[in-house]
Amino acid sequence: MSSPDQPSHDPDPGHHPDPDDRPEPFGARLRRAMDSRGPLCVGIDPHASLLADWGLNDDVAGLERFTRTVVDALADRVAVLKPQSAFFERFGSRGMAVLERAVADARSAGALVLTDAKRGDIGSTMAAYADTYLAKGGPLFSDAVTVSPYLGFGSLRPALDLARESGCGVFVLALTSNPEGAEVQRATTPGGRSLAQVMLDHMARENAGAAPLGSVGAVVGATLGETGADLAINGPLLAPGIGAQGATPADLPGVFGPSVSNVVPSVSRGVLRHGPGPAGLRTAAARLADEVRAAVSPA
């Protein structure tokens, strides 16, 4: 890991052009970014309490100052930045303009951008959501987006197909850390599999044959302990819950088992509370990335 105040030696590990001009798959870009910059995703979650902690007003000016500070401090050194769309949407069109700039600026600085929107719908509506985040040239074009499969995994087809065409990724909710999720995700099918496992099996089929890593990821909470699920989907595993929600990097091997090397731990307040100074954000992100790397590396 680079020192807290120095960018990584590779300024742009996520955006190397493909020799034949086809987009390089997201999974390959993510693997390289994690290996180069450390396996860490930092959330950009400008909720009202964090704005107040930074001495900022809960308005568009505060939102913009907060977001720009995080992007400027971290986009040249962390593998993934994950803006939470809801905290921008609540300010209407001006908030979405801040998000558009943040996505573009972070990608330009070399971070992979995962927009956390958790979209899920059917048919032309799902296709419109896909166009929003996964169509090249769009104002919110991101490296990946989170989606919900609980209208049926097949409902995600427009996003899965456009992501493949654009070299992007899709992270599918599987086993989330919120207690309410269990009543749906751990419900069993007539064959005895949990609904979450059905979704994970779909993801594994989407990623079959991909190397070094598939581009369809699963969201699996780091706070869950033993999941009882087969997480070998040949794709990335986004793991929220490190830090304020109670999980630590040392918990990751116990939750993810043999798939731990594909985990992308997501941290928000554990880094953001060290602002508003950029040095504090960089130090916190570097420390956590090093702790995760040590926890997931083979002994």
Which residues are marked as active site?
A: 118
- Any idea what DSSP says for residue 212? S
From the list 209, 136, 208, 214, the residue with the least C-alpha distance to 171 is 214
Copy the structure tokens of residue 289: 């990335």
What is the CB neighbour count within 10 angstroms for residue 65?
Answer: 18
Q: How far apart are CA 240 and CA 43, in angstroms?
A: 9
Residue type, 55: G
Location of structure tokens 């995703």: 41
User: Between the CA of residue 256 and those of 2, 94, 127, 175, 252, what are the distances in Å?
Assistant: 26, 39, 32, 12, 6
Enumerate the H helices of 109-232 as residue ranges. Answer: 123-134, 157-166, 182-185, 195-207
